[in-house]
Chain A
């Protein structure tokens, strides 16, 4: 039914994304498709690494760990953006096309008043992507 799953991951908060990670892995196993974890960092040194090798290693290590934990086929894609606070949605939307994903699974917070000012990433991806989008709420 699906070809490839894309799961955006905020590596700084991966521990808080447990429901989405599990749901994504379950779906990947169920349909026997690979899952591509996508991480986005700014083009300046940041919390995800001082340099490219650190960042790439962190994303790759995360993918390996998920592959082993869930027994699934995994890809990773580490992307950069000039201003991820604002550009994250567009970066992820482009990644959906670039990696050929037909379903996106991502965590998102429960909507609050702030979402009226600047919508959540999950909400924006769901409203703009051609792929199916499965938004999973925090606990």
Chain B
């Protein structure tokens, strides 16, 4: 006789509306060995994604001089002609999320009515934040507020400088406010709404509906059983591509900034070689993290990351204009809420440089990044209600962005406006060196050598936390939604992310990286709009 003391898969616990399907997760997988390494891969998603990535990497390396103009032309066309599409789509995602908070659909619990969260608030938030936008905050925290205040003139708000660089006093207050509001617009509700849509749809269809944790599952309400065939394969392959190119973009930014910081602090010259060595080193750290796994590697690193970031933030608040930062948190939030609607309108504006060069690029970037961040957030979010989920994935990160941007950007703006010889003035306004903007701001605060070193460490750790979680996500998608595929596969993807980043960096630098992110973002925007419909349909059938 048997005595069943099973606890079972702990989801969904309590009432949930499972989707009945005969599809067995892993039924299309191929289990094989390559030398001593076992593989458990989805056919054909792994093979097509893997081979194309390999081919792409080699082609880019082989034709370095000809790919950059091609990517740049592609990016120019997309951001100039489809900016309205990205901006409107971003608005849709925010509205969907806000609707979920206020409607009874927010009562649905991910993982079933009785499910309990897998992770503490701190561990959960650390992981989702580090995966989502860590490197970007480091790169743009100083650059963007200063740049938008001085040059972008969002929705026609004039610069506080005249053509000769002299201050126009009457323009200062409005330009400062708009500089911060425009920056927070790029790092606030809109990006996090993009992540939240992807994450919520995936979590819902995996934990409540019993489908595999892979992008295709979200489309079950639309395609039905056909998601197990080519429509689903294409969605998953697209997700792998979007993730890889999104990661490569971020890795490129990270390597450049870390290299610039190393030159600034230690005199190590900026060069392709140094950046390649950085990517290789950081990929090696990411490998250690993925081999240690979700709890022992990714989570631990994300928590360390948050602690270091918190210390640096605390230092900037104390060493910078403290009172002005504290009042700025409130004032900038108000400015953001006041300006978010005009900034979100794609038509009838003349700020092409800002709208197309910044907003449109960002939205495409976040969207290309969203399958990865969304899948990762989904995986660690079991047990939260939809309302709690949206609050923690949308509202709290937006508030953190407000605080971060106010501290870093506010301090930098203060330095620029009060001291013409400030280093931020030098690196953002006089000679545009974006990768040095953060270090320039820190240089004019006390203990610059120490804080610059901490900033470099932080850039590197943020780099690693994106790379490791991204590898786990690609591994899961290419294993047909199985999260227990052999270790060799996550090692493969982690290594190739690094190689793709190197190829793109050498093949055309940042322009090529940006162009790739934008172009994978376009098809995925359509995918995300369909996901919004799937969320409502999926949630409507859940017990509340």
Q: Chain A residues in contact with chain B, CB under 8 A?
A: 12, 34, 41-53, 55-56, 59-60, 63-64, 67, 73-80, 82-87, 99, 112-115, 118
Contact = CB atoms under 8 A, between A and B. Distances in A.
Interface in B69-100: none
Given A45-B213, A73-B1, A74-B2, A85 B484 contact: yes
Contacts of A74: 1-3
A68 to B, nearest CB: 9
A35 B445 CA distance: 66
A44 B379 contact: yes
Given A64-B2, A77-B5, A43 B487 contact: no
Contacts, number: 146
Contacts of A87: 293-296
Contacts of B296: 86-87
Contacts of A52: 8-13
Contacts of B13: 52
Contacts of B4: 56, 59-60, 63, 75-76
A28 to B, nearest CB: 13
Contact of B9 (A51, A67, A86): A51
Which among B2, B10, B38 has the highest number of chain A CB atoms within 10 Å?
Answer: B2
B261 interface: no
B484 A42 contact: yes
Interface string B459-492: 0000000000000100000000111111110100
A45 B481 contact: yes
A99 B10 CA distance: 19
18 contacts: A12-B26, A34-B3, A43-B9, A43-B10, A46-B26, A46-B212, A50-B25, A51-B11, A51-B18, A55-B6, A75-B5, A76-B2, A77-B6, A82-B293, A83-B484, A86-B294, A99-B5, A118-B487
B510 interface: no
B24 interface: yes
Task: Classify chain B: how many residues form its interface, as a range.
Answer: 35 or more
A42 to B, nearest CB: 4
B118 interface: yes
B382 interface: yes
Interface in B474-533: 481-488, 490
Contact of A50 (B21, B483, B490): B21
A67 B2 CA distance: 7
B2 A44 contact: no
A136 to B, nearest CB: 18
B266 interface: no
Given A46-B484, A99-B5, A118-B291, 8 more contacts: A44-B483, A46-B212, A78-B7, A83-B293, A85-B485, A85-B487, A112-B36, A114-B37
B292 interface: yes
B490 A76 contact: no
B507 to A, nearest CB: 31
Contacts of B472: 83
Nearest to A88: B484
B138 interface: no
Contact of A55 (B8, B206, B293): B8
B15 to A, nearest CB: 12
B46 interface: no
Interface in B339-368: none
A114 B487 CA distance: 10
B486 A85 contact: yes
B154 interface: no
A75 B488 CA distance: 33
Contacts of A79: 7
Contact of A80 (B9, B25, B207, B212): B9
Contacts of A41: 9, 484
Which 7 residue pairs of A and B lie closest in terms of their CB atoms, listed nearest first?
A86-B293, A50-B210, A52-B8, A47-B26, A83-B294, A114-B36, A78-B6
A84 B483 contact: yes
Interface string B190-216: 000000000000000011001111000
